[in-house]
Amino acid sequence: MSSTAAGWLQALALVGALALCYRPLGDYIAKLLTTARHLRAERGLYKLVGVDGDADQRWPVYLRSVLAFSALSVLFLYGLIRLQTHLLLSLGVPEMEAHQAWNTAVSFTTNTNWQSYSGESAMGHLVQMAGLAVQNFVSAAVGIAVVAALIRGFTRNRTDRVGNFWVDLTRIVLRLLLPLSIVFALVLVANGVVQNFHGLHEVTTLTGNAQAIPGGPVASQEVIKELGTNGGGFFNANSAHPFENPNGFTDWLEIFLLLVISFSLPRTFGRMVGDHRQGYAIVAVMALFWVASAALITFFEQQHAGPVLQAAGGAMEGKEQRFGIAASSLFAASTTLTSTGAVNSFHDSFTPFGGGLTVFNMMLGEIAPGGTGSGLYGMLILAIVAVFVAGLMVGRTPEYLGKKLGGREMKFASLYILTTPAIVLVGTGIAMALPGERAGMLNSGPHGFSEVLYAFTSAANNNGSAFAGITVNTEWYDTALGLAMAFGRFLPMVFVLALAGSLARQQPVPVSAGTLPTHRPLFVGLLSGVVLIVVGLTYFPALALGPIAEGLH
């Protein structure tokens, strides 16, 4: 069977598996976010930390809880990394520099998992488990909690309460992420992913040279890095490493894991607002962009221009032979359309247009389907903008799910949309203006610019993947990219939760003849157009200087 045919079968199997999970998983998430029943373990945790599990919070209190928890997470992880030489299972790993420890702590707390270090040589097993893997769970849960608060803004009326962050966080971790991680970690171990506490083993290669082979608790971290759309690799080669991703089945499973929750959340949205058709409309837009991106990246990577590509049958540089072009392209599209950032191939080696699409995917805001929670709240913000645009066309006050969208709501939506592009473009501009940072570029011309643009796009959109053609482990880049991750994660959450509070205070507006139906194909097309025009074209000048210029050269 050709690699192209195998790729089609893999994609079709993936679509089928996601479709089968859409309803049961989406309904289950909706149930755990709405039930009044607390599990015994949850009640024990609430009592331990002094939380009233039955109390709702106003949106400013919910926001302060998110920010306080995240700030403590950064401090805890920073301290753990800096002290790892004194901890158990440190494997003799030296102390990490302060600026790199800051970057790493912010990275994993913000669900970015940008790594300016080699995992197997810079982190001991205890830090990998108690620090990085724990943040993989809770940072993913924070994203789902925030979108739950936004959905409650649509469902509640004449109140200033949007839920309880501590209850949402606890339930998402204990009832959703942890059980799924245990099940699929066992599946990964059964298929060859490493899971042990071994240190380095000296082996003799076929050529007679000595090589140190690391072990570690890989499968338990691999599963949540994908399921929670985190992406940080236990090894430097990430999901291209055979200990993390041994074969075609594990590759398929990891793509499935990084998509399944985000693609199921629209069902959760439809169920919580009482109209499943709304969820179908949102997931249709997500699926449209995902399919188009995967198909286009595969097309560009299979182009045979030039003798080297013709001899290889496509652009195979930087790709694992055991996966091939189709599986590598599918993984690349999926990981950059979510906030995962895990890679099974080297994006810097993609063709100019193939690599450019991975950048563009992130620039869309990673909404197709996006990160756990963050993808859905990003798409809902764009749906609000689409309804507003439609209202301007017919000259009436726009309404979405029974809530009027006035000046206050549109200001929050506009600030959300403008925040990330401002961080990306300003950060890239400063980096290109500084001679010292330009000197860290290993490539010149459009491709070198693309590498810097990719780095800030990845950081601000909390993706974590990289072109990796620049030296980013410097004090300036570690600090600048860390700030981009923090502002790119938490500023949008401020506007999302403020919008949730504004919507929750409103009195519902009855549906009338002038209400725009937001569950029909017309709205799906309108929303898709808004995504491309309002978000995508914001970055067009930057793309023209990088990937487009390189591709047309």
Backbone angles phi, psi at 163, to 5 degrees: 115, -175
Q: How confident is the model at residue 275 (pLDDT cuts 50, 70, 90)?
A: very high
Averaging pLDDT over each range in 116-125, 349-358, 375-384, which range is the top one?
A: 375-384
pLDDT for position 552: 78
Q: pLDDT category, 529, cuts 50, 70, 90?
A: very high
* Range list of β-strands (E), 377-420: 399-400, 403-404
- Give the pLDDT score at 388: 92
The mean pLDDT of 30-45, rounded to a whole number, is 95
Residue 210: partners with Cβ closer than 8 Å, 6 or more residues away: 202, 203, 204
52-74 pLDDT, tens digit each: 999 999 999 999 999 999 999 99
3-state secondary structure string across 333-361: HHHHHCCCCCCCECHHHCCHHHHHHHHHH
d(CA 82, CA 44): 31
Average pLDDT, the chain: 91
Residue identified by tokens 């001679």 is: 435
What residue segments make up the domains of the chain, in order of their start? 381-552
Using alpha carbons, select from 71, 109, 178 the residue that is nearest to residue 462. Answer: 109
Measured CA to CA, the distance from residue 348 to residue 458 in angstroms comes to 13
**What is the C-alpha separation between 518 and 284, in angstroms, rounded?**
12
* Proportion of the chain above pLDDT 90, given as a percent: 68
> Are the C-beta atoms of residues 287 and 388 closer than 8 Å to each other?
no
Q: H-type helices in 156-237, by residue range?
A: 165-171, 178-190, 218-227
Give CA–CA dist 101/79, Å, rounded. Answer: 8
User: pLDDT per residue over 202-241, tens digit each?
Assistant: 877 778 888 777 888 999 999 999 999 999 889 888 999 9
Does residue 297 sit in helix, strand or coil? helix
Q: What angle do CA 175, 181, 185 make, to 5 degrees?
A: 155
For residue 269, give the H/E element and its range: helix 248-273
The confidence score (pLDDT) of residue 311 equals 58
Please tell me which residue, 377 or 513, carries the higher pLDDT value: 377
Write out the DSSP string of 48-114. HHT--TT---BHHHHHHHHHHHHHHHHHHHHHHHHTGGGSTT-TTPPPPPHHHHHHHHHHHHTT---
Q: Cα dist. 423→98, 140, 433, 485 in Å?
A: 23, 22, 15, 9
Nearest to 263 by CA among 14, 4, 10: 14
CA 490 remoteness from chain centre: 14
The pLDDT value recorded for residue 309 is 59
| pLDDT at 15 exceeding the cut of 90 | yes
In the block, which residue shows the tokens 């699929």? 184
Residue 121: band (very low, low, confident or very high) from pLDDT cuts 50, 70, 90: confident
Q: For residue 308, what are the β-bridge partners? A: none
Instruction: Report the pLDDT value the prediction gives residue 304, as an integer from 0 to 100.
Output: 60
Q: What is the pLDDT of residue 119?
A: 76
- Flag whether pLDDT at 512 surpasses 60: yes
Confidence of residue 443 (pLDDT cuts 50, 70, 90): confident
Contact 279, 25 (CB under 8 A): no
**Each residue's pLDDT tens digit, 300-317:** 988 765 555 555 566 777
Q: Say what the pLDDT of residue 439 is.
A: 64
Res 550: pLDDT? 82
Q: Residue 324: its pLDDT value, please?
A: 86
CA atoms lying within 13 Å on the CB side of residue 466: 24
* Total number of residues shown for the chain: 553
pLDDT digits (tens, 9 = 90+) for 280-294: 999 999 999 999 999
Location of structure tokens 């206050």: 408
pLDDT above 70 (res 371): yes
